[in-house]
Amino acid sequence: MHVPHARPTAEDAALARIRSLPADRRRILFTGATVVTMDPALGVLDRGDLLVEGDTVAAVGPGLSAVDAVVVDATGTILCPGFVDTHRHAWEAQLRRIMPDVDDLGGYVTATLAGYATVYRPEDMYTGTRLAALTAIDSGITTMLDFSHNSRTGDHSDAAVQALLDTGIRGVHASMGPHFGTWDQQWPGDLTRLRDRYFGSDDQLLTLRLAALATEEIAGPALAYGPELARVAEDLGIGVSVDAVFGTASSEAVLRWAEHGILGPDVTLIHATGLTSDAWKAIGETGTTVALAPTSDAQIGLETAIPAVDEALAAGVRPGLSIDVEVALASDMFTQMRTLHAIQRMRAVNAAHGTDRQPSRITTHDVLDFATLQGARTNGLAAVTGSLTPGKKADLLVVRAEDLNNMPLNDPIGTLVLGSDARNIAAVLIDGEPRKWNGHVLDVDLTALRADVHASRAHVLSAPPTS
């Protein structure tokens, strides 16, 4: 059957013009959109324009004009900040949904960290991380913190960083040594080499963090956060992300960290489920950030299995959101927002049922704030991304509001949180560069990527775990 070539569209022509210009001289003017800025001072513009100059949001408002700008008619769309993922183990992506009904943390740890992880080669790290980052871009995540806890050698770390670079995502490489199996014991010392090789500039897409665990119960004391690792991070001038923060042991650890003065805005505690009120008090008082993983907590059943949004808000912490492990969970931020929104509101109503108390419910605006501005703050990037504020980097989404599943547009934030998904994202810009356009991720050979993913999975599933 002969399939005629599709005629170039206005979107194709706009992209061609954008890409024909040097990146630092581009001006892109989106017109006629509903603009959800997530900037408290700017709010929502029912019909507005947004000007991108180079890598930066230059202006937001009605009736903008710009000389020599590529004008993109965004009528019928919502412009919003890109989503920010505060914690994902990206290297696992070629094992997606391999254990969709895993029953507990132990099942995940045994199969993945004590099993599959031990046979990963650097090329497997690259393939998994690249797949995760491209999928993130496709679903509107413009910033992803890769909690890369399979750094068996320096080459493994290099491969993970290179994958972030090659996709063009705003990436945060959070490096940690592996839980089990043989490895070079190069971490955390190798962080200095990584910083010097890849993270020499403050004005770049990638940033570096130290990753650690809350306690030594799973993998021993070398990977557990404490004064020694805090000094490493301080000496390097980088932030810290601490995973597996839940329960009594983690609560006691949080109080020790507070006593040692190693909590603060540059430290992120991941999950934070089942913590004591004293631990939450210390978190709030020190300005420590929190990354929730709504589907992970609920589906895998971590500690109380209840995402700790109420506890965070009560302590004065507005959390970020994260994906966690794709071996068992969804890959996108829409699912995280909806899950958290539903669980918290269910709990609020249930707690007030049969009484005269009014439920204290979060809103769609809250969860969108968590997925954008608060996520950026949690990743240490609040001055860079997370809102469509003039002067910030141009990390943004163009979401079709008149698609079958979204029309008619009545409430833009409700539409983003409860109605939209990856198919509605017409365009993704990261640092002003189009990464998805006219509904398609750019510069990806899917046939070649698919071959790499299947080959990597075949190796991981067939190689015997190392001790």
376-427 pLDDT, tens digit per residue, is: 999 999 999 999 999 999 999 999 999 999 999 999 999 999 999 999 999 9
Peptide bond into 408 cis (omega under 30): yes
Q: Output DSSP code: residue 224.
A: B
Query: Of 379, 378, 376, whose CA–CA distance to 392 is shortest?
Result: 376
pLDDT of amino acid 335: 98
Tokens for 169, please give them.
């995502």
Using 50, 70 and 90 to split pLDDT, how confident is the model at 466?
confident
User: Can you name the residues that pair with 441 across neighbouring β-strands?
Assistant: 436
Residue reference for tokens 């301080």:
234
Torsion angles phi and psi, residue 200, rounded to 5: -80, -15
Judge whether residue 220 has pLDDT over 90. Answer: no
What was the pLDDT predicted at 9? 84
Give the pLDDT score at 416: 98
Look at residue 201 in the predicted model and tell me its pLDDT. Answer: 83
Per-residue pLDDT, averaged over 96-114, amounts to 94
pLDDT on residue 39 = 98
Q: Which two tokens stand for residue 235?
A: 């000496």
pLDDT band at 2 (very low <50, low <70, confident <90, very high): very low
Name residue 144's amino acid.
M
Tokens of 455: 């080959």
223 pLDDT above the threshold of 50: yes
Q: Can you tell me the mean pLDDT for 349-362?
A: 94
- C-alpha to C-alpha distance for 279 and 91, rounded to whole angstroms: 31
Q: How far is the C-alpha of 135 from the C-alpha of 128, rounded, in Å?
A: 11
CB 141 within 8 A of CB 83: yes
Q: For residue range 435-454, what is the model confidence (pLDDT) as tens digits?
A: 999 999 999 999 999 999 99
> What is d(CA 268, CA 379) in angstroms, rounded to the nearest whole number?
8
* Pairwise CA distance, residues 439 & 12, whole Å: 11
Question: How many residues appear in the chain?
Answer: 467
What is the Cα–Cα distance from 87 to 89, expressed in whole angstroms? Answer: 7
Domain annotation for the chain: domains and CATH numbers: 10-81+383-441 (2.30.40.10), 83-378 (3.20.20.140)
Judge contact between 49 and 32, C-beta under 8 A. Answer: yes
Q: Are strands 239-246 and 207-213 parallel, antiparallel or unpaired?
A: parallel
Burial class of residue 448 in the structure, from the number of CB atoms within 10 Å of its CB (0-12 exposed, 13-18 middle, 19+ buried): exposed
Is the separation of the CB atoms in 389 and 35 below 8 Å?
no
Query: In the numeric block, which tokens belong to residue 349?
Result: 């109503």
* Cα distance between residue 267 and residue 255, in whole Å: 14
Q: What is the pLDDT of residue 6?
A: 54
Range in 102-111, 267-276, 436-445 the model is least confident about: 102-111
In terms of DSSP H, where are the helices of 53-153?
A: 105-108, 122-138
Is residue 1 over pLDDT 60?
Answer: no
pTM of the model: 0.96
308: tokens are: 């700790």
| Half-sphere exposure (Cβ direction) of 161: Cα atoms closer than 13 Å | 24
pLDDT, tens digit, for every residue of 66-88? Answer: 999 999 999 999 999 999 999 99
Residue 48 to residues 31, 201, 395, Cα–Cα distance (Å): 6, 34, 17
For 20-51, b/e burial (b = at least 16 CB within 10 A) is eeeeeebbbbbbebbbbbbbeebebbeebbbb
Residue range 3-47, pLDDT digits in tens: 445 556 888 999 999 999 999 899 999 999 999 999 999 999 999
Q: How far is CA 398 from CA 134, 140, 156, 316, 334, in A?
A: 17, 9, 35, 32, 15
**Longest pairwise C-alpha distance within the chain:** 72
In whole angstroms, what is the distance from residue 332 CA to residue 401 CA? 19
Q: What is the DSSP letter of 302?
A: -
* pLDDT reported for residue 10: 86
Question: How far is CA 52 from each of CA 71, 297, 427, rounded to the nearest angstrom?
Answer: 10, 38, 14
User: What percent of the chain clears pLDDT 90, i.e. is strictly above it?
Assistant: 94
Q: How far is CA 120 from CA 125, 128, 152, 457, 464, in A?
A: 7, 10, 9, 10, 11
Give the whole-angstrom CA distance, residue 415 versus residue 425.
Answer: 12
Nearest-angstrom CA–CA distance, 47 and 257: 48
Residue 188 has pLDDT above 90, yes or no: yes
Least confident of 119-128, 212-221, 226-235: 212-221
Beta partners for residue 171, in sequence order: 144
